[in-house]
A and B are shown apart, each in its own frame.
Chain A
């Protein structure tokens, strides 16, 4: 199936002058906000089939579609050590034939229901997703169930998928953002399985159809999988239909694959350079370890990040975009995995301001680490985070993807509600403490993709070790 990015829309906007500590005064005639509407997380009906398959159902009458997400524990981090990125090939071929359906029949069957099946291999889990017309929901369930139980990985399809994966990897390697993300994962996680975010030419070439069949049998099991459905359906009849389609799915006798261990130690403080001749920009991707969802100071870090670079009116964007015009697309975000989380900054800046931009990013990180936020900054960030959660969880697919992720991280559906409440409880002191602990620029691992001479020349004054990015494995 085709690769799709998770629905994770990030929004960030413009704002005032960087040197100004205070936000501009509001116009006198501006009407006030109405009463704040509290965030209400989707209500999940959680069930389990006899074979261990978890169901999380969110019936929402009205809009006549249903989002379906089938997720399985064990993603890229669960791939065999000598086959990095195998999960991508597994997903690319899992819908290319079953004992009773050809690849084309599967694609056409899903299309006839109004959908398109997409797959995504994440570090901790695998996802297959589609959204279909609710009137055709019963047509697509048997197809999904068939793929989960009876995929055959025909040799010819595997060969084609391998060739296309090799070329697609070449195509991706031309993109600065891909190079940056891949290098950062390796630089931060070292030998830990989270360091892998894509296959290599070697692993693609070495993978055999028989191996995919083995991995499929080992990993695709009902007792480590979830089916999330969000949309216009009757929960009772859907449960019955799922039971009928997926009830025959049997877990293998062997023990489940254990979770990966949490990474230990610190991420290195150094600049890792990915030379990309011909680049007219330097692409920065920086990260430091941060608390995980569910940890005590997670909400404080979320709020601190919004103030720093997580929304359009944040300090970083005001500074390097709206004041200095160094970049179009700076941003900061959390990059969660089940056993670790990263606080990340990214910006693509034109070559001549590579050093100047890095200086400002460091300044804004250290400002978070050394000073407390203004009270109105804090309030705006909190209101933003609470409101934007409701906005981001309006689509069926966004809800289904979020729920699948929570489940894969071992978190309950109630986590969404809790997070929103935790964000509202964060104080100036909490943000200050989170800033001191997580934001010092000296904690950052830095990847820079672009013209090597430009990067080395302009980053020299910072006195940080510079080295070639580690080779992906």
Chain B
């Protein structure tokens, strides 16, 4: 979910990427501090700027029961000051340095980013280190940010058509365990119940240097950054981080279906989510490609079939781990989601039939060599796009390091994509894109519901 600032919807909807074979790679260097903090540097002197990301290995999946939405509320508290740098200092210093800062909470990480001209690098590092040491655990600031977060939920969910059901409701229907199947933005009852002692214990449990990766991309040299990070972060003590619980799901045996009434939407929508294999399993990379083949752009199979040929849909979007990240950035049960908006004149059953025909086509015919070639080019191009801006590159490198222990993972993905065969695509569709492995939510405008519009 989007962090404490509203960034453009584009950020949320950006299609999941992936990369390809030959050519361009990003330089990476890595070092681990004595306290366990991992530092990653990608040197790029094309502009006198830097992008910085500190990613912690805690997301909304592992937030406590009875505290839905807490990981994200906590993210807001990271901007509320420390005993050394009271509320307001952080933004004042970063913006006064010509830059911006933000945070994001996702399933399995929470990240804090800054980007600015290089002249603001030292103050930015100091501020990140400062809030890794302690926070200003102020009840007044907690009350303030609770209100802000509740407004965030109103503006992004409660006052919007569709209410983000494709990523808030779908996992709750698709999975059975609390970590995978709760309201990640938070029920107001739970947000209201959060106390400052919750903030303290969450911070102590998860915001340790040995549970974090700090990545910097831009006009810097690795040795220089390693020294600076040692200087600012080296004295922060390592802490015991709780072992990761088992979040795996029992196998799904039948299709999950739901119909939701939407009081604000005027045009119906549907979300379809298939359970995906674990990250880095041999099938996972095929899933990433299939997600793109189906959803990415006007040439995609679903767009061409549902919007253009059969004329049963208006918009199609989706992919693996969409819209909350790339197909390589999750650490637990996740979905390949299709989000479809369709005309009032089309019945849900017609849309489902047309959708199933596309899936069946993949399962019986697979994809042609030419199709794979095109999708790979698009995935390579999009993945490079993810690595273009220093701040985005820092973020992607931090995730790869957090999940796989090596930043260079971002340079390997292309080779893996390049080797996927039409047969693998077919086999993947047969194994995973089956009704017993999916959840479907129909989101129907209240007016249409009353008229029996299904």
Contact = CB atoms under 8 A, between A and B. Distances in A.
A273 to B, nearest CB: 16
B384 A65 contact: yes
A23 B92 contact: yes
- 5 tightest A-B contacts by CB? A387-B98, A114-B381, A16-B88, A325-B147, A11-B100
Interface stretch (A24-32, A200-208, A294-302, A435-443): A24-32
Nearest to B46: A62
A294 to B, nearest CB: 23
B263 interface: yes
A462 interface: no
Interface in A165-217: 167-168, 170-171, 173-176
A341 B308 CA distance: 39
25 contacts: A11-B7, A24-B86, A24-B92, A26-B85, A27-B130, A30-B127, A34-B121, A35-B119, A60-B46, A110-B298, A112-B373, A115-B381, A131-B381, A131-B385, A173-B266, A174-B264, A312-B101, A313-B88, A313-B91, A325-B146, A325-B148, A328-B6, A349-B151, A391-B99, A391-B115
B87 A16 contact: yes
Interface string B144-182: 111111111011001111000000000000000000000
A132 B384 CA distance: 10
A280 B297 contact: no
Interface string A409-452: 00000000000000000000000000000000000000000000
A384 B143 CA distance: 29
A176 B150 CA distance: 17
A380 B298 contact: no
Contacts of A390: 47-49, 98, 117
Interface stretch (A1-9, A78-86, A245-253, A453-461): A1-9
A129 B442 CA distance: 33
A104 B297 CA distance: 11
Nearest to A4: B10
Interface of B: 4-10, 23-24, 46-49, 79-80, 84-102, 115-123, 126-127, 130, 143-152, 154-155, 158-161, 263-267, 296-299, 304, 307-308, 311, 314-315, 341, 343-344, 373-375, 377-378, 380-382, 384-385, 388-390
Given A23-B92, A111-B297, A325-B144, A176 B304 contact: no
A64 interface: yes
Given A30-B126, A384-B98, A280 B299 contact: no
Given A13-B102, A380-B92, A281 B154 contact: yes
A37 B118 CA distance: 8
A13 B94 contact: yes
Contact of A132 (B6, B86, B154, B381): B381
Given A62-B46, A160-B308, A281-B159, A312 B266 contact: no
B151 A387 contact: no
Given A104-B299, A329-B151, A390-B47, 20 more contacts: A13-B5, A15-B92, A30-B126, A33-B97, A33-B122, A107-B304, A110-B299, A111-B378, A114-B380, A131-B381, A133-B380, A164-B307, A170-B266, A171-B266, A174-B161, A325-B145, A327-B151, A328-B151, A348-B151, A383-B98
A117 interface: yes
Contacts of B149: 328
Contacts of A136: 377
Contacts of A379: 96
A14 interface: yes
Contact of B377 (A113, A131, A173, A329): A113
A62 B99 CA distance: 24
A34 B311 CA distance: 58
B416 to A, nearest CB: 18
Contact of A13 (B47, B91, B298): B91
B231 to A, nearest CB: 10
Contact of B87 (A24, A63, A114): A24
Given A312-B91, A329-B6, A37 B151 contact: no
A234 interface: no
Interface stretch (A120-128, A218-226, A316-324, A464-472): A316-324
A320 B425 CA distance: 52
Contacts of A322: 87-88, 144, 148
A279 interface: yes
B46 A63 contact: yes
A17 interface: yes
A108 interface: yes
Given A27-B130, A278-B264, A65 B119 contact: no
Given A23-B88, A64-B23, A387 B314 contact: no
A256 interface: no
A312 B49 CA distance: 20
Contact of B388 (A9, A311, A318, A396): A396
Contacts of B314: 164, 167-168, 171
A24 B4 CA distance: 21
Q: How large is the interface on A (under 10, 10 to 19, 20 to 34, 35 or more residues)?
A: 35 or more
A114 B161 CA distance: 32
Contact of B84 (A1, A27, A116, A131): A27
B298 A313 contact: no
Given A15-B92, A175-B160, A65 B298 contact: no
B155 A116 contact: no
A116 B95 contact: no
Given A63-B384, A174-B161, A27 B389 contact: no
Contact of B381 (A23, A65, A281): A65
B155 A64 contact: no
A33 B10 CA distance: 32
B190 to A, nearest CB: 18
A13 B378 contact: no
Contacts of A135: 23
Contacts of B341: 171
B213 to A, nearest CB: 22
Contacts of A329: 5-6, 151-152, 155
Contact of B143 (A37, A174, A325): A325
Contacts of B79: 13-14
Residue from B85, B152, B381, B389 having most chain A Cβ neighbours under 10 A: B381
Contacts of B152: 328-329
B298 A117 contact: yes
Contacts of A30: 85, 93, 123, 126-127
Given A36-B117, A280-B154, A281-B159, A388 B100 contact: yes
Contacts of B86: 16, 24
B378 A114 contact: yes
A151 interface: no
Interface in A362-388: 379-380, 383-384, 386-388
A12 interface: yes
Contacts of A26: 85, 89, 92-93
A270 interface: no
B121 to A, nearest CB: 7
Interface string A276-293: 001111010000000000
Nearest to A20: B88
A324 B118 CA distance: 34
Nearest to B219: A37
Contacts of A391: 49, 98-100, 115-117
Query: Which of A16, A37, A108 has the largest number of chain B CB atoms within 10 A?
Result: A37
A163 interface: yes
Contacts of A12: 5, 100
Interface in A262-278: 278
Of A32, A113, A349, A390, most B-chain CB atoms within 10 Å = A390
